[in-house]
A and B are shown apart, each in its own frame.
Chain A
Amino acid sequence: MSLWKIALRSIQQRGVASVLTMASMALGVTMVVAILSIHGVVAESFSNSTQTGYQLIVAATKGGKLQVTLNTVFYLSRPVENIPYDYYLEFVSTEQRDREYRSHSMQYELRRVTSRVLTTAAAVGPAPVPAVLLAQAAAEQFDYRASIQPLINQSIARWEPGRPTKYGRMVAFAIPVCLGDYVETFRVVGTTPDFFDKLRYGGGEGRAYRFASGRNFRTYSREHGYFEAVIGSVVARRLGLKVGDTFSPSHGASEADGGESHHHEFTVVGVLAPSGTPNDRAVFVNIEGFYLLDDHAKPLGEGDAFARPKRVSAVSGRAHEDAEHHHGAHGHDHEKARPLPIEQREVTAVLVRATSGPVTLGLQNKIDEEDNAQAVLPILEIYRLFEVFVNPIEQLLLALTVMICIVSGISILVSIYNSMSERKREIAIMRALGAERTTIMAIILLESVMLALGGGLLGWLAGHTLNALASGMVERMTGVQIGFWTFAPGIALLEFPWGGHNVVWKVSTEAIIIPGLIGLAVVVGIFPAWTAYQTDVARSLAD
């Protein structure tokens, strides 16, 4: 018969007291597991959010860096001021910027109209053309210039074809982000397809975003024009949306909070697989469609309503048409819609990945020095947020749970110690049968360890069952998926170079529970074990 079995029999013999003692320990361990799980969820959520494939957020100078981060990364807090779209274009390649200007800018349109006036004037020379044509072209050019001049004046960097962009050479990619609209309570993010093509999430190299169904939205498609959308997994589940469904964002706030619904409908073309990032709880729409929504265009100068050339008024006037007969002419609208001119565009933020790590800081300094915008390192802000808020709360909770475990440990001590007087005879019998004092001591310590481990196992099971039961709620709240077999994040116990790589041996913090419990059990078991050690055999047998 092993000492373990003797200890087990002793525990069984005092069934009720043992069960209560183990329950006390189980409660403590349940809380430890729960706290570690919460920490894991928070840490993973933060980790997923920080490793998004970009290093800088460029946003308006108004608003603090933390607000920019909360707003852009977590979609919390209200959006800060916007920055002009032409400033965003300073982060892309010269070719891309020129292409965009030629495709949909008023400045290019002005050049074109001016060129037409000159061509008309040239034509008047040798072969007389009705003077009215020249006058009409000149008036059109004059009115148009007058209407867009205020917008051009607001430009941070005026367009000159072929002029190298300011930051393009330092940037691997830049992705514009427009915020401010909602679908129900979920934030709408106007962006480009690059958001899912180029960004990554999670630790290390990062993982590409996957689609549970459908595909990424396109800048323009024949079926849906500029009005394609991708929705996060939580949004899909909560709103019951799927690929092919349509929705209308509301402006400024959720409809419940007084936001007015736009009249355009976006079509869901993709549903993201759960990523554990805030993106699970967001709606992503094509930025071109976003700009075409009501009130999303920067107003033109005075008289624009009647002075704009037809081509331009077709863009801005489209909203008015849609406002009147949007629902019935959905498909037809896509063919009529043209992108909003660059001068009327703004972005909330630009997500920037620099060409290399060292360049990031140089780029940040350069942006900050010029004072047109601010560059925020989101990882730094999140780390500070973590340090200021999350870590202290987590440490407080952990301290509480450690105290609970110590109290549970003391209950083991009390339970065993109280049983000592009634067990003196049993101890004396074992001693009379040849058990050494140290053997008796070992049996008492084993008993303490078994009570602690038994309670610990029950607590572990209860803690993970809680994880499983709370998985739905946690995923809804944080986007992080947990389940029964989700363990607390690992801590690196050993790190060494091997074959050109760094091998890291990680162990879940939950694994510390086992040696921790054994240590606690030994500490609290020492006192009753010492009492047992000192048992006077002859006297106890006589009693």
Chain B
Amino acid sequence: MNQPSSRPVLLLENLEKSYVEGDGQILRVLDIPRFEVAAGEQLAIVGRSGCGKTTLLHVIAGIARADSGTVLVDGIDLAALSEPARDRVRAAKIGYVFQTFNLMPGFTALENVLLGMTFSRQKRSESRARDLLQRVGLGARLKHRPNQLSVGEQQRVAVARALANHPRLLLADEPTANVDPKNQQAIVDLIRSTCRHEGVALIMVTHAMEIADQFDRVERLETLNQVLQSTETTS
């Protein structure tokens, strides 16, 4: 098990992100003065629907670019990087678990995990992929395609894929939203334990308070976000 280092794995400063709406109006979604996640730390972010939780994860992952501010991932400022450079950082340092799993339908479980390694410049290792699938309980279902797996199993594959490149930070966007209640806890436990084992920091976005309450640190996006605070004050 890796030990957390003292340097924060994620540091957001003066982060602003806006969208231009259809009628030309500019909608500011994120305005976060400071947000920090320590290495190996696990936290939940909660917030009402549409408050910008997924946008925040996209900005952290470098999928979307911040309008201004700093996005330091393991000491690298994504905001200052070109898109290809952000892609490379994302491939190497960030794992992403989606709400809808987003497995590639034509690929087997093993291939889906290997796909996660394809775009990283790290050495690809099939044994690593097999180990991860073994660890999430799918050692016997390596050759199964997503449509041959249960919903819970699909999310396990997604977790294994997100961890394939030894990321420093795992972003989980409502990972239990599409999972039946019986499996929800198992998925959360799996993600948390695996991240702990790998020494990976975890940010889990969820709207389910019973899941968020299990984390030592829970952040409300409305609290982090000055835009949302002013909106709420106004309303």
A contacts, CB < 8 Å to B: 1-3, 5-6, 9-10, 12-13, 425-426, 428-439, 537-538, 541-542
Contacts and interface: CB of A to CB of B under 8 A. Distances in A.
A538 B83 contact: no
Interface string B116-132: 11111000100000000
A433 B63 CA distance: 10
Q: Which of B107, B111, B124 has the most CB of A within 10 A?
A: B107
Contacts of B165: 434
Contact of A434 (B98, B104, B119): B119
A538 to B, nearest CB: 5
A530 to B, nearest CB: 16
Interface stretch (B8-16, B85-93, B134-142, B204-212): B85-93
Given A433-B91, A433-B119, A538-B55, 16 more contacts: A1-B111, A2-B118, A5-B111, A6-B115, A9-B104, A430-B104, A430-B115, A430-B119, A432-B96, A434-B165, A436-B83, A436-B88, A437-B84, A541-B58, A541-B63, A541-B98
Nearest to A12: B106
Nearest to A10: B106
A10 B107 CA distance: 9
Contacts of B102: 425, 428-429, 432, 541
B112 to A, nearest CB: 9
Contacts of B92: 434
9 contacts: A9-B104, A12-B106, A426-B104, A426-B105, A430-B119, A433-B96, A434-B87, A435-B119, A541-B63
Contacts of B61: 432
Contacts of B96: 432-433
Please classify how large the interface on chain B is, using the bins under 10, 10 to 19, 20 to 34, 35 or more.
20 to 34
Nearest to B120: A434
Contacts of B117: 1
B87 A431 contact: yes
B94 to A, nearest CB: 8
Given A9-B107, A426-B104, A538-B63, A433 B115 contact: yes
Q: Which of A10, A437, A538 has the most CB of B within 10 A?
A: A538
A310 B83 CA distance: 110
B104 A1 contact: no
A433 B105 contact: no
A313 B119 CA distance: 100
Nearest to B83: A437
B91 A434 contact: yes
A12 B61 CA distance: 31
A270 to B, nearest CB: 65
B84 A9 contact: no
A480 B165 CA distance: 61
Nearest to B107: A9
A435 B87 contact: yes
Interface in B74-89: 83-84, 87-88
Interface in B33-47: none
B148 to A, nearest CB: 14
B54 interface: yes
Contacts of A2: 118
A1 B115 contact: yes
A12 to B, nearest CB: 6
A436 B107 contact: no
B80 to A, nearest CB: 18
Contact of B88 (A431, A434, A437, A537): A434
B64 A538 contact: yes
B161 interface: yes
Q: Which of B83, B91, B117, B165 has the most CB of A within 10 A?
A: B91
A350 B57 CA distance: 93
Given A426-B104, A433-B91, A1 B84 contact: no
B114 interface: yes
Contacts of B111: 1, 5, 9
A537 B83 CA distance: 12
Contacts of A439: 119
B53 to A, nearest CB: 12
A431 B84 contact: no
B54 A542 contact: yes
A3 B119 CA distance: 9
A436 B86 CA distance: 9
Nearest to A542: B54
Return the 10 tightest CB-CB contacts between A and B, nearest first: A434-B91, A13-B106, A434-B119, A1-B114, A435-B119, A9-B106, A436-B87, A429-B102, A1-B118, A436-B84
Q: Which of A10, A429, A439, A538 has the most CB of B within 10 A?
A: A429
